[in-house]
Amino acid sequence: MELLNSSKKKGNTQKRFNSRYENNIYTVTLAGNPNVGKSTIFNGLTGLRQHTGNWTGKTVTYATGTCSYEDNNFEFVDIPGTYSLMSNSEEEEIAKDHICFNKTDCTVIVVDSTRLERSLNLVYQIMEITNNIIVCVNLLDEAQKKGITIDFELLSKRLGVPVIGTNGKKIKSLKKLLKIINDVCTNKIFPTPIKAKYVPIIEESVDMIFPTVKKIIPKKYSHLYKWISLGLIENNSKSISNIEAKIGINILNNIEIKNKLEEIYQMLDKRNVNKDDLNYWIVSSILFNSENICNEVCKFKKNDYNSRDKKIDKILTSKIWGIPIMLTLLGLIFWITIVGANYPSQALSTFFTWLEGYITYGLETINTPNWLQSILIDGVYTTASWVISVMLPPMAIFFPLFTLLEDLGYLPRVSFNLDSCFKKACSSGKQALTMCMGFGCNAARYRRS
């Protein structure tokens, strides 16, 4: 932490104050890969109850909550989980837009302590956009079970940003995280990210187009200069088009940009580098940096700590056995839901029928008019009782079983198995999960009377 504190600028650090800070309100974004405990940390900090699923439609919209520390108030924004800012799915676009264009005083990137190398990919990408970053290494209990230890101090020095280990379910670790957030937001700590070093051909290409990007993009978007430069040289037209729509400038059709890109591609041709491979070299550079850091900061009691997970994945995502196992498990859940719901449904129906007689007798005792009895009994009570007896049992069985599959980590494997099929319909394998949840309502149709 001394490294971070010593990086204070000589009195010329730009203050991030506006009218909001008169009331000591700071905005904090929670970012991270799916299934790293991001929403659990959000719930722990804000006290809100939010489901931590990550399939399409679950956390696509923002979730916000507030908490206080000392004399300051913090508004937390839980954005959708994403593996990369270079992806193009709906939830990943929302995450990228928020990080690029929404003013945030601090971005907390939650990473998985058991898969640190994969998580650092997102950390390095966000570093290209903002400096006010905190890396939160979560799921320490899982890392301990697998014999993984992480040197947080060394990781902080290698990244140039505050790093803190947490267990999202323990309040004590969240208080430590909140203190670091407070220090960054109030300028007690100035993170100075050590950004990824790209291969020379990428660095040279960025240096060539960066001045032109800086010339045509307004200064208020200066934090996006490097990100836009990378997007242009890798020909990520969808990402650039999205940025164009936000800032109101036609970047791709700008004559200076076109000329500079042509100059870059000519340079690549002379060196026998295919311009279509630039995305590969950018991603490879980030992964190479991530791998080097992980080799330094991570220690393993057993080198084969994840061998069991690999064996399970090899079976559950197998081209031969993956689909049959998935159909068997989902079919079993549907069968349990349909057949199992009959018994509690029948019991509830019998109970409500029995109770209806007493309610009718009570209304007749107080001489309730027939028209009012018809509204209360035949209209309100009968309708409500039938909805409860028909819908509640299958929902009470199906959704807990589906949640169990989620907690066991099987649902991402379902998405993987079906991704190639759904891509043919211009969709994603994650869409299969919401389709499965839709059967929870259909199951009620099979109730025996």
Per-residue pLDDT reduced to its tens digit, 373-400: 889 888 899 999 988 988 888 888 888 8
Q: State residue 28's pLDDT score.
A: 94
Q: What is the DSSP string of 350-407?
A: HHHHHHHHHHHHHHHHTT--HHHHIIIIIIIIHHHHHHHHHHHHHHHHHHHHHHHHHH
Confidence of residue 334 (pLDDT cuts 50, 70, 90): confident
Above 90 in pLDDT, residue 262? yes
CA distance 224 to 42: 27
Per-residue pLDDT reduced to its tens digit, 359-368: 988 988 898 8
Alpha helices in 255-321 (DSSP H): 255-270, 278-297, 307-316
Confidence of residue 61 (pLDDT cuts 50, 70, 90): low
Express as a percent the part of the chain with pLDDT over 70. Answer: 87
- Average pLDDT value for residue range 70-93: 81
Q: State residue 185's pLDDT score.
A: 93
C-alpha closest to that of 341 among 415, 443, 413: 443
Asked: is 200-299 a CATH 1.10.287 domain? The reply is yes
Q: State residue 12's pLDDT score.
A: 35
Q: State residue 306's pLDDT score.
A: 66
Q: State residue 190's pLDDT score.
A: 92
Structural contact between residues 158 and 145, judged by C-beta atoms closer than 8 angstroms: no
Three state DSSP letters for 408-449: CCCHHHHHHHHHHHHHCCCCCCCHHHHHHHHHHHHHHHHCCC
Confidence of residue 288 (pLDDT cuts 50, 70, 90): very high
Above 80 in pLDDT, residue 405? yes
Confidence of residue 182 (pLDDT cuts 50, 70, 90): very high
- Average pLDDT value for residue range 104-114: 93
Above 50 in pLDDT, residue 248? yes
Q: State residue 89's pLDDT score.
A: 67
Per-residue pLDDT reduced to its tens digit, 140-163: 988 888 889 999 999 999 999 999
Confidence of residue 442 (pLDDT cuts 50, 70, 90): low
CA distance 390 to 413: 32
Above 70 in pLDDT, residue 232? yes
Above 50 in pLDDT, residue 95? yes
- Average pLDDT value for residue range 29-33: 92
C-alpha closest to that of 111 among 143, 139, 137: 137
Above 90 in pLDDT, residue 292? yes
Highest mean pLDDT among 145-159, 271-285, 413-427: 145-159
* Domains 2-185 and 200-299 fall in the same CATH topology: no
Q: State residue 179's pLDDT score.
A: 93
pTM (two decimals): 0.72
| CATH H superfamily, domain 2-185 | P-loop containing nucleotide triphosphate hydrolases (3.40.50.300)
Structural contact between residues 135 and 55, judged by C-beta atoms closer than 8 angstroms: no
Give the range among 196-205, 237-246, 261-270, 337-346 with minimum mean pLDDT.
237-246
Confidence of residue 354 (pLDDT cuts 50, 70, 90): very high
The domains of the chain are located at 2-185, 200-299, 316-446
What does the angle CA 73 – CA 76 – CA 80 come to, to the nearest 5 degrees?
175
Above 80 in pLDDT, residue 22? no
Q: State residue 80's pLDDT score.
A: 84
Give the range among 184-188, 193-197, 320-324, 445-449 with minimum mean pLDDT.
445-449
Above 50 in pLDDT, residue 15? no
- Average pLDDT value for residue range 79-108: 82
C-alpha closest to that of 121 among 364, 312, 285, 311: 285
Above 90 in pLDDT, residue 126? yes
- Average pLDDT value for residue range 23-52: 80
Confidence of residue 5 (pLDDT cuts 50, 70, 90): very low
- Average pLDDT value for residue range 120-137: 93
